[in-house]
Amino acid sequence: MQIPDSYEFLLYPKIVSGRCALENLPTELDGHNAQKPLVITSQALARSGRTKALIKAFYDSAVVIGAIFDPVLDYAGISQARQAARLFGNRGCDAIIALGGGPVVALAKAVNLLASEKRETLQPYYDGTPIAGPLKPLIVVPSGPTDGQEATPAMTVDNRTIVSDSLYPGVFVLDGRMTSADDGRDLAESAAITLAQAFTALTMARPSPMVDALAHPALALLAQYLAPALRRPADKTAGLALANAAVMASAASANTGPGLFQVLAAALADATGICLGTCLGILLPFGMAALQKADQPVRDELCLCLAGTERYSAMAAPDRPVRGLELAAALARELQAVLPASLKAMRVQHYLLEPVARTAAEKGAGGFTADECRAILTRAWEANA
């Protein structure tokens, strides 16, 4: 492993994972001197019975659930954030538990900011006002689809993003009762985001040993558990493994920033309205195939985490970078068993490819060209690797 001349890494969040992890929630709240949390979740998770399982974790504790706010759908908006923040204050809550992923966690971060700073709007923070002080304790219990921002210092509300180290959740509690998937499509979309984040973090131009420490196991877990999870989305072991991978990849991404795949997929999602996970699931196989054809240099660590120690050791050293990219591309292709195989299949108009490529190149800040983006989009539209 090569140590760079300098690097920065913020060690967040704490992760509690495994059997009966939910039952650690009272202890985690007590460690933050909190006894009355507001639970924020979605209607779908409430209907699935996961909210009841969460509440049972507090039966033998002194914790009182202040309120449950569960009208969250697939979008985090300021109006709901205000409602939940007022509920937080009216019920005398002192912490937040976010049960879910994506918009649930984004809304929880927004509620935490409004309640802690005693504001009615997020506008000052969009305009650059710094967050004044520490926020209330925020614990995330992942369940359902991820958007990759959960373990980062970012939140997106009303399609506008605020980034601050104060927005990091303090604790993630991962429990197989919560992380098993109800739908293979949701699982595949989340896995595509996790794969893109972990791949980008591990293959970044300036590697960091701390980033590697998160990206490596995230990719290894994907390599081992993605196929079983796609076959049986409700499998608790596979679901817990992928949830761990998602948190690790998200935390690694928070310290590296987005790469080509994320920027390109985000531009495509904005232009078409297709969700980010689906965009990434379609683009990843073709993007990785393009890296293979371009003979893109990749560190041996990619091969090590995807192939495992035994297979890696048996390979000749010059073959390892190539084999690493092959394994990553094969992992991306597994998503096509569930997700659409091409942009044409999603009825994306061909004329959109050019403006999406330009937008991605502009947002990539010189990391890649519009021609490179256009080539990947064209292959993904035609389903031609």
The CATH number given to whatever domain includes residue 152 is: 3.40.50.1970
In whole angstroms, what is the distance from residue 272 CA to residue 249 CA? 26
5 in a structural domain: no
Give domain status of residue 3, yes or no.
no
Residue 219 included in any domain: yes
330 domain-assigned: yes
Q: What is the pLDDT along the chain (385 residues), one digit of tens a residue?
A: 667 778 888 888 999 999 899 999 999 999 999 999 999 999 999 999 999 999 999 998 999 999 999 999 888 999 999 999 999 999 999 999 999 999 999 999 999 999 999 999 999 998 888 998 799 999 999 998 999 999 999 999 998 999 999 999 999 999 999 998 888 899 999 999 999 999 999 987 677 889 999 999 999 999 999 999 999 999 999 999 999 999 999 999 999 888 899 999 999 999 999 999 999 999 999 999 888 887 777 889 999 999 999 999 999 999 999 999 999 999 999 999 999 999 999 999 999 999 999 999 998 866 789 999 999 999 999 886 5
pLDDT tens for residues 71-119?
Answer: 998 889 999 999 999 999 999 999 999 999 999 999 999 999 999 999 9
CATH number of residue 323's parent domain: 1.20.1090.10
State pLDDT tens for residues 275-308.
Answer: 999 999 999 999 998 888 877 778 899 999 999 9
Residue 66, in any domain of the structure: yes
Pair (132, 262) in one structural domain: no
Cα 56 to Cα 29: distance, rounded to the nearest angstrom: 15
**What is the extent of the structural domain holding 377?**
184-382
Tokens, residue 143: 């369940």
Of the three residues 123, 156, 178, the one that is the final residue of a domain is: 178
Together in a domain, 169 and 37: yes
Give the pLDDT of residue 26: 96
Separation of alpha carbons 175 and 280, rounded Å:
26
Domain boundary among 178, 198, 218: 178
Residues 6+ apart with CB under 8 A from 93: 36, 37, 38, 66, 67, 87, 115
Decide if 2 is inside a domain.
Answer: no
**Is the same domain home to 164 and 212?**
no
Same-domain check for residues 248 and 215: yes
Instruction: Tell the residue number behind the tokens 């390979």, with chain if given.
Output: 315
166 lies in the same domain as 245: no
Q: Based on the domain organization, do 66 and 114 belong to the same domain?
A: yes
Residue-level pLDDT at 320: 93
Question: Do 105 and 162 fall into the same domain?
Answer: yes
**Do 206 and 78 have their domain in common?**
no
144 in the same domain as 100: yes
Domain total of the chain: 2
Same domain for 253 and 158, yes or no, is no
CA 161 to chain centre: 15
